[in-house]
Amino acid sequence: METIAIPAVNLAAIMPETVLSVVGMILLLINVFLPTEKKAYLGYLSLIGIAVSLFYTMNGWGTPQEGFNGSVLLDNFSHFFNVIFLLCSALTILIADQYVQREECNHGELYPLILFATTGMMFMASGTDLMTIFLGLEVLSIALYILAGFARNNVKSNEAGLKYFLLGAFSTCFLLYGMALTYGATGTTKIAGIAQFIAQNSILSKNPILLVGMLLMAVGFSFKIAAAPFHMWTPDVYEGAPTPITAFMSAGPKAAGFAAFLRVFLVALPMFKAEWTSLLWALAVLTMTFGNITAIYQNNIKRMLAYSSIAHAGYALVGFVAANEVGVAGILFYLLSYTFMNLGAFAIIILVGKKGEPNNNVSDYAGLSVKHPALALAMSVFLFSLMGIPPTAGFVGKFYLFSGAIKSGYIWLAIIGVLNSAASVYYYLRVMVFMYMKAPEEDFAWLKVTPAFFVTVVIAIAGVLVLGVAPQYFLKLAQIAVMI
């Protein structure tokens, strides 16, 4: 009689994801019995779940856990990204409560959906099997499709959800087909197994099936990180989605896309480095240039930050092209920095808006420094960091990304990156010009800073400045994390 081997489960390898999933399901049950005016309590319970998940993440640093027959690996790489995901989720929940009450879309499903999306992001970062990564991507994507269209009575939100669903499903086909071709060529979906098989069969380096599989996976991941020309969904979805969800989508899912992209290409396909670095070089230049040039012409601040987000994906791709310790660690550090500065900027955007009038035009910020100087100063800090001005986190992140490119010999790519960063100064400064040099057109009487918003802005400013002034500790952690 043949013995059936049962693979080791090791729940410790998925404990952060398990905590969020369980809390999310409990919140769905509580939501059924909770009256509308008390839905905010679900947000507080969500924060408790995030804190517990963060505890397991931090406690596991330096002690890798592998589970499910090698399909999941909770190592320092996934730990670092998990911190980014959890920070993004926590800050989003803090700024969401006031918004959903103001816009009368205070449906309790918001908070479980954010937790489920975060769970998907975690699986993308810790997955060491193509199927695990795909599973995480689908968990993330389905939650995001709903979140983008969460404002049920808003036509733009409905449009955003539908567009994201259609284009997201389309891009998923590319990714899954690429994974299928890679499996067909190597006979395994394990990332380490793919690398081992290619190393032992050098003839595969000329296998067109494997090359096409690699190309299709690059297309799928490029969609998730909003790299040009696979960015088509970004402006409309960012503009139409509820602003807290726009903030969430701009940081967390982008980081998850990079986490999976890095692990698959650096671990599974290092033998094809010459091919995929050439591809990513072109993607980086196109993404940076298109994002910045298009952002210059935007009057809507959410669309401006959407195109800015595309440009920032291009900066991160510069570190990917370098594919060395400095460049890849720079990606991790930059994504952490971007979480603070972008969510901080979106928090101010939510505050300036009012029911029925989101005040999303740049001109709506005229005279904000006169009426609310502290908020104008906070917004300026975030904008300076997005520009890459010292001593902010944005400057340090770009410095390491471009340094990694120079170290690998991609000097022209670094020069193009610096020129693009300089071009971005125009549209960020434009917002500051309206805040400080234009007469107020509104009295901003509706603007109310709640304790949750105050905490969010303070955390974001602290993150931007600490990572900019004393980045050594975080850079060291990023360098340890990239030893995948």
- The secondary structure of residue 67, as a DSSP letter, is E
Residues of the chain under the 50 pLDDT cut:
1
> CA–CA separation, 450 vs 97, rounded Å?
10
| C-beta of residue 435 within 8 angstroms of C-beta of residue 308 | no
Taking the model in full, what pTM does it have? Answer: 0.93
Torsion sign, CA atoms 416, 422, 425, 426: negative
**pLDDT value, residue 90:** 94
Cα distances (angstroms) measured from residue 311 to each of 234, 290, 418: 12, 7, 12
| C-beta of residue 434 within 8 angstroms of C-beta of residue 366 | yes
**pLDDT value, residue 484:** 59
Residue 138 CB neighbour total at 10 angstroms = 15
Cα distances (angstroms) measured from residue 350 to each of 38, 42, 111: 21, 20, 18
Which residues face 357 on adjacent strands? 354
**pLDDT value, residue 7:** 62
What SS3 class is residue 354?
strand
What SS3 class is residue 7?
coil
Q: Name the H helices within 103-154.
A: 110-126, 130-148
Residue 451 CB neighbour total at 10 angstroms = 8
**pLDDT value, residue 5:** 60
Helix (H) or strand (E) holding 66: strand 65-67
**pLDDT value, residue 40:** 77
For residue 484, the one-letter residue type is: I
What SS3 class is residue 132?
helix
| C-beta of residue 244 within 8 angstroms of C-beta of residue 92 | yes
Q: Is 7 exposed, middle or buried (0-12, 13-18, 19+ CB in 10 A)?
A: exposed
- Which of these, 87, 41, 29, lies nearest to 464 by C-alpha position? 87
